[in-house]
Amino acid sequence: MKFIVNTNQLLQKLQSISGTIVSKPVIPILDHFLFDISGSKLTITGTDLETSMSTSLEVQSDEDVRIAVPSKMCMETLKALPNQPVTFTLDGNNNSIELKSEFGRYKLVGQNADDFPKVPESTSENSFTMPADALSSSITQTIFASGNDELRLSLTGVFVQLYKDNAVFVATDANRLVKVLRNDVKPGVETNFILPKKALNLLKASLPQDSTETKVDFNDSNAFFTFGDVSLICRLIDERYPDYKAVIPTDNPNILTLNRQDFLNSVKRISIFGNKTTNQINVKITGSELTIYAEDLDLSNEAVERLGCDYAGEDMEIGFNSKLLVEMLQNINTPEIIIELSTPSRAGIILPSANADDEDLLMLIMPMMIASTSRS
């Protein structure tokens, strides 16, 4: 059978789901796209067995066919061609594929579509919708804080807690924690699950940055996301998430308010002179002055800066991992931040100076022991 499609159009669709393709697949067909033509609609699917993505577009076709197409060769050929209509001739019997452009023709061999892994289907028993930009924001503000330790598998994803009238997204690597409460989501059900990092990164890259409705379905083993002509299915992390609420301190009498960008820039500069193994910087708060310093005793490097601040509480000195702190400050959007502290040995809470109506953001960072002498 034959179908005609524009090169740029097809390439754009292939690129949008190519993140599911792995370079060294456990089975050869996983480095293929499944082309499924029904009527004048071409549906393209890619999978790594854990995460699957599909998208579709209209084409000119003469009959229905299914075939697995080599992803790398197909994409490289389309990239090398200028924007023009190309004709695909597919033979499902011998899995042959021919592309014909105004320059010439190109033959490659695919695989039997029946050998392509079956993609899980949603039963739509548990589903709700949320704006695409709200979902994208929730992923962006949490995913960076998730862990990478495969021995603590539950911490490698984002924990989603659904309630009747809101949803909570949580990520932690045991050194920091981020919690986002969304009031613009009404799941209508109370449950929870853990979404894997790879699927969330693919989702974040694909979601439109507007209020497009995104449908979310889930069951005991998979989550399904549908928006526009794109669908993403991922296997949930089958682990129990730790009680994150227990680590968030509630009694924090020392309240620090300061300019986020000034603090971020200062931390970046000071960290250059700190120990590259620990990434430690120390923060000393005295009245309305904040002193930030770091040193590397082995190389005799040190740096100190002072910032103005608004502080209510006892004078304090506390250590933080600058790398973690920078990532957290970069994921807050307000001009000012509030840092709530209790003692130098307990976690600090970082909050935006004002939360949006639909979103409550809370960040937590564990302190580091101060081994060096205090700066005056």
pLDDT in tens, 18-57: 999 988 888 999 999 999 999 889 999 999 999 999 999 9
In sequence order, which ranges of the chain are alpha helices (DSSP H)? 7-17, 71-80, 132-143, 197-206, 260-271, 322-330
Give the per-residue pLDDT at 371. 67
Whether the predicted pLDDT of 13 surpasses 60: yes
Q: Is 216 exposed, middle or buried (0-12, 13-18, 19+ CB in 10 A)?
A: buried
Predicted TM-score (pTM) of the model is 0.91
Alpha-carbon distance of 202 to 339, in angstroms, equals 32
Alpha-carbon distance of 202 to 55, in angstroms, equals 13
> Residues 90, 59: contact at Cβ < 8 Å?
no
> Residues 111, 95: contact at Cβ < 8 Å?
yes
3-state secondary structure of 150: helix
- Bigger pLDDT: 250 vs 322: 322
Q: Which of 178, 164, 190 is nearest to 360 (CA)?
A: 178
Strand ordering across the sheet containing 316-321: 301-308, 289-296, 280-286, 316-321
Give the per-residue pLDDT at 245. 95
Q: What is the pLDDT of residues 324-345, one digit of tens each?
A: 999 999 999 999 999 999 999 9
Whether the predicted pLDDT of 373 surpasses 50: no
Q: What is the CA radius of gyration of the chain?
A: 26
State residue 83 phi and psi, 5-degree precision: -70, 115
Whether the predicted pLDDT of 195 surpasses 90: yes
CATH class of the structural domain 2-115: alpha beta
Task: Please provide the DSSP assignment of 17-56 as one string.
Answer: HGGG--SS-SSGGGGEEEEEEETTEEEEEEE-SSEEEEEE
CATH class of the structural domain 248-365: alpha beta
Q: Which H or E run includes 67? A: strand 65-70
Alpha-carbon distance of 179 to 351, in angstroms, equals 10
Give the per-residue pLDDT at 376. 46
56-74: average pLDDT? 92
Q: What is the pLDDT of residues 81-123, one digit of tens each?
A: 999 999 999 987 899 999 999 999 999 999 999 999 999 988 7
Q: What is the pLDDT of residues 131-180, one digit of tens each?
A: 999 999 999 999 999 999 999 999 999 999 999 999 999 999 999 999 99
Alpha-carbon distance of 179 to 141, in angstroms, equals 8
Confidence of residue 374 (pLDDT cuts 50, 70, 90): very low
In this chain, the answer to whether the domains covering 2-115 and 248-365 adopt an identical fold is yes
> What CATH fold (topology level) applies to the domain 127-166+183-242?
DNA Polymerase III; Chain A, domain 2 (3.10.150)
Count helices and strands in the chain by DSSP H and E runs: 6, 26
State the DSSP code for 261: H
333-359: average pLDDT? 92
- Percent of the chain whose predicted confidence (pLDDT) is above 70: 98
Q: Which of 198, 218, 14 is nearest to 121 (CA)?
A: 218
- Bigger pLDDT: 204 vs 371: 204
> Residues 186, 358: contact at Cβ < 8 Å?
no
Average pLDDT in the chain:
93
Tokens in use for 265? Answer: 């820039």
211-218: average pLDDT? 94
| Segments making up each domain of the chain, as ranges | 2-115, 127-166+183-242, 248-365
Give the per-residue pLDDT at 358. 87
Alpha-carbon distance of 290 to 305, in angstroms, equals 8
